Amino acid sequence: MSAHRSPAVARLQRARWFLTALAAVITAAAVLIFGFVAATIDAHARETRADDQVERVAGGLARAIQQDDKSALDLSTVMDDELATGTTAVAVLMRKPGEPWKQAHTYQRSLLPDDSEIATLATQVEDHSETVIYAGKRFTATDITGRTVTLAGSPVFWDGWDATVVILAGAETMADAGEHRTLVWELAISGALLVLLSAAVTYLLAGRSQAQALRLLAEHEQFLSDAAHELRTPLTTLKLLTGSRPAPEEVPQTLAEAQRLADRMARLVTGLLARARMQAGIAEPERTLLRLDQLAEMVAEEAGDERIAVTAHPTVVLGDPQLLSLAIRNMLENGLTHGAVNRSAPVEVHVAEGRVSVRDHGPGVDPVMSASPFDRGAAGRSGRNGIGLALVAWVAQTHGGNASIEPAAGGGAIATLWLPPADITVGGPVGARH
């Protein structure tokens, strides 16, 4: 199973989406609270400003209204006053005792209630004042279009004149209501964007925080897969040995073979664990000066296959013995496996100048694998999963070298592991050992 389909990865993905949703909900709640508070404060401030405005207009015009020489109401000062020509509605009402209210002047009539309610409000202003001049009163009413408006009234009395004058000023209950609606829309849009931004940032940060865990999970599954691949053959052989019930004279040989397989599995596990620890950053590859030719000879000898022929020249490299042994062993097993079509053909190992080449006389490089023979999971004619060659490539890269596999002249394939030679001088070339 690939890492991205494993239950552990699925749980991490669900946790990532949960954190993203949680951050979005928390941000949305904070934005709603902030937006509600901001809109409420703004609405209250505008309502207070509207109340102050109508009271200022009503009181100011009440003080500006005058009588003419004939004791008649002089509206010229009112109509010319800037308070009576702005955005606030104005109504000047007058009545004599026992008569109904008359509208001497109106401005912005649509912001005022109908005539009967205006008369009622004027009466309330008069009664509230108790003949005290300029004693204002504020109301909330509905204008002739159905809007809620705030109104303020201020009475005017003159000594020796029995008529009463009331100035009514009206405006929307919220000053500049359009600006308030714009503010609410801006808060809503910016809040939505903030929630989306918070969710996106949380998703990205959660992904980055989980990247290490995902990498460790992938390496864990790769380790299990590689271990299964590397241990499958020796375990199968060991099972056959232990279940074969050898004759008494064959017991020592069987035990020796079992011991050899156990040692091989121990080395494999040690190498795989070392690779896993290095990939996880827990350990670094060992850097030891070693004779690559002697290491290749030792691995070939441990393989115990008479078809292996080694030609080695002294070459010194700087590397990890366990990892290099694992790589060479995988190259040999790959050659032995693919060279099995001709049991008499040798598997030739050549070591020189930091290079280990393994040639088999099998069917050659599989066209299916030729594009990426070292990719982990690649499979050829044998149906094997290609982890052995992938390990070879990884070991080469870890040591600053490279690996290749190519068709050999006359048939078969050549797998090569190259490492940078150590920066020392080894004695002159010696004869090749066979």
- Confirm if 126 and 166 have CB atoms less than 8 A apart: yes
Which residues on neighbouring strands pair with residue 312, listed in sequence order? 351, 433
- Confirm if 369 and 380 have CB atoms less than 8 A apart: yes
Given phi > 0 = left and psi -120 to 50 = alpha, else beta, which region is 247?
Answer: beta
Predicted pLDDT of residue 1? 42
- Confirm if 128 and 137 have CB atoms less than 8 A apart: yes
Between 194 and 8, whose confidence is greater? Answer: 194
Question: In angstroms, rounded to a whole number, what is the distance separating the alpha carbons of residues 174 and 100?
Answer: 32
72's CB contacts (< 8 A; 6+ apart) are none
**Homologous superfamily of 285-418:** Histidine kinase-like ATPase, C-terminal domain (3.30.565.10)
Is the pLDDT at 434 greater than 50? The verdict is: no
Question: In angstroms, rounded to a whole number, what is the distance separating the alpha carbons of residues 334 and 28?
Answer: 60
Is the pLDDT at 294 greater than 90? The verdict is: yes
Predicted pLDDT of residue 411? 82
Predicted pLDDT of residue 40? 92
Nearest to 416 by CA among 362, 348, 357: 357
Using DSSP, state whether 323 is helix, strand or coil: helix
Average pLDDT over residues 30-56: 91
Predicted pLDDT of residue 418? 94
Is the pLDDT at 121 greater than 80? The verdict is: yes
- Confirm if 213 and 6 have CB atoms less than 8 A apart: no
Average pLDDT over residues 122-145: 83
Q: Give 274's pLDDT tier (boundaries 50, 70, 90).
A: confident
Average pLDDT over residues 90-107: 89
Q: Give 168's pLDDT tier (boundaries 50, 70, 90).
A: very high
Q: Are strands 347-352 and 308-312 parallel, antiparallel or unpaired?
A: parallel
Question: In angstroms, rounded to a whole number, what is the distance separating the alpha carbons of residues 139 and 173?
Answer: 10
Predicted pLDDT of residue 367? 61
Using DSSP, state whether 157 is helix, strand or coil: strand
Return the axis-axis angle of helices 387-398 and 321-338, rounded to nearest 10°: 150
Question: In angstroms, rounded to a whole number, what is the distance separating the alpha carbons of residues 45 and 48?
Answer: 5
CB neighbours of residue 118 within 10 Å: 24
Q: Give 157's pLDDT tier (boundaries 50, 70, 90).
A: confident
Predicted pLDDT of residue 385? 47
Average pLDDT over residues 104-110: 89
Average pLDDT over residues 220-225: 74
Burial class (CB in 10 A: 0-12, 13-18, 19+), 53: buried
**Integer CA distances (angstroms), 220 to 213, 226, 278, 280, in order:** 10, 10, 12, 9
Here the tokens at position 111 are 């912001």
Q: Give 375's pLDDT tier (boundaries 50, 70, 90).
A: low
Q: Give 194's pLDDT tier (boundaries 50, 70, 90).
A: very high
Question: In angstroms, rounded to a whole number, what is the distance separating the alpha carbons of residues 43 and 254?
Answer: 94
Average pLDDT over residues 7-22: 86
Q: Give 379's pLDDT tier (boundaries 50, 70, 90).
A: very low
Nearest to 259 by CA among 238, 245, 239, 244: 238
All CATH 3.30.565.10 domain ranges of the chain, comma separated, are: 285-418
Give me the phi and psi of 76, to 5 degrees please: -65, -40
Average pLDDT over residues 154-182: 85
